[in-house]
Amino acid sequence: MDFPHKLSVKEIAEIINGRPLGDIDVNALGLNELHVVREGDVTFVDHPKYYNKVLNSRASVVIINKEVDAPEGKTLILHDQPFNAFNILINKFRAFKPSDKFISESAIIGENTFIQPGAFIGNNVKIGDNCIIHSNVSVYDNSVIGNNVIIHSGSIIGADAYYFQKRDGKFSKFHSGGRAVIEDNVEIGANCCIDKGVTADTIIGCGTKFDNHCQVGHDTIIGKNCLIGAFAAIAGVTKIEDDVIIWARVAINKDIVIGKGAEILATSAIDKSVEGGITYMGSPAIEVKKYWRNMIFMKQLPDLIKSLRDK
């Protein structure tokens, strides 16, 4: 997530009421979580387990809850609650803005694009040419939709990330400052939900097609020309490469990679990264040939047990 302009460490510390440790004149370009952090970004860490990884990341500024030695090129901001400080920054620059119209005046809508009655288009949304947005679709603020996109009734683009931390017996929400980006020639079925990124973008690649009732979690990247079957549930921070086919009721765990050209058969569950060019089945999913071989062995098992007992 980019700031609207460069911010100095001094300015950031004042916004979050933190104490800078180091050069207060260092400028930051934006803020991001660790898995997408860039040089020039602000990130945060609030657990000793992750201190070393975050302090040696590409981030230029780290909000931290303990005074430690900063690696060369890093500036620290001390804060009792880095998680809360990060939320303050997100809300400062991507705060919720209520709408009083179905189509925001700040939305940019391309030529020959049809917005059906009852659809909601939020603030700063960009929609390309030759699109059809059916009734009861909600496109949340800052979402980007390319050309030749069809979104069917009841779908939601850019809902908040499902991201919480448990603190003092309660769940604290990590506010979402990222976007949902739908590239050209995508079709999204009815009653789907594409969540926005927390600080980066959730991306649906060019030519990908969704059936109805699909869920895509925050910061997930789906490649080009993929097919996603009905009731697929794809968790956050997952990467699905090009030409992947995911059939109905597939569940995919967070933070994994589905290789190019993989095919996941219906009702399967993926709990770890899988190679491309292979068909998978089962829960947890394995290569389909192994799955059917195991099923044959399972069917033979009662006869095998009976024969052993008869001996």
**Model confidence band, residue 311 (pLDDT cutoffs 50, 70, 90):** low
Work out the average pLDDT over 228-237: 98
**Model confidence band, residue 308 (pLDDT cutoffs 50, 70, 90):** confident
In this predicted model, what pLDDT tens digit does every residue of 124-166 receive, in sequence order?
A: 999 999 999 999 999 999 999 999 999 999 999 999 999 998 8
**Model confidence band, residue 86 (pLDDT cutoffs 50, 70, 90):** very high
Average pLDDT over the chain, rounded to an integer: 94
Residues 78 and 113 in one domain: no
> Which of 28-37, 148-157, 169-178 is modeled with the greatest confidence?
148-157
* Residue ranges making up the domain that contains 62: 2-93
Q: Is residue 100 included in any domain, yes or no?
A: no
**Quick one: pLDDT at residue 167?**
81
**Which position has the higher pLDDT, 182 or 300?**
182
In this predicted model, what pLDDT tens digit does every residue of 96-131 receive, in sequence order?
A: 999 999 999 999 999 999 999 999 999 999 999 999
| CATH code (residue 48) | 3.40.1390.10
- Which residue is catalytic, options 79, 152, 213, 218? 218
> According to the 3-state scheme, what is the secondary structure of the chain?
CEEEEEEEHHHHHHHHCCEEECCCCCEEEEECCHHHCCCCEEEEECCHHHHHHHHCCCCCEEEECCCCCCCCCCEEEECCCHHHHHHHHHHHHCCCCCCCCCECCCCEECCCCEECCCCEECCCCEECCCCEECCCCEECCCCEECCCCEECCCCEEEECCCCEEEECCEEEECCCCCEEEECCCCEECCCCEEECCCCCEEEECCCCEECCCCEECCCCEECCCCEECCCCEECCCCEECCCCEECCCCEECCCCEECCCCEECCCCEECCCECCCCEEEECCEEEHHHHHHHHHHHHHHHHHHHHHHHC
Of 93, 128, 158, the domain-final residue? 93
5 carries an active-site annotation: no
| CATH code (residue 231) | 2.160.10.10
Of 52, 69, 93, the domain-final residue? 93
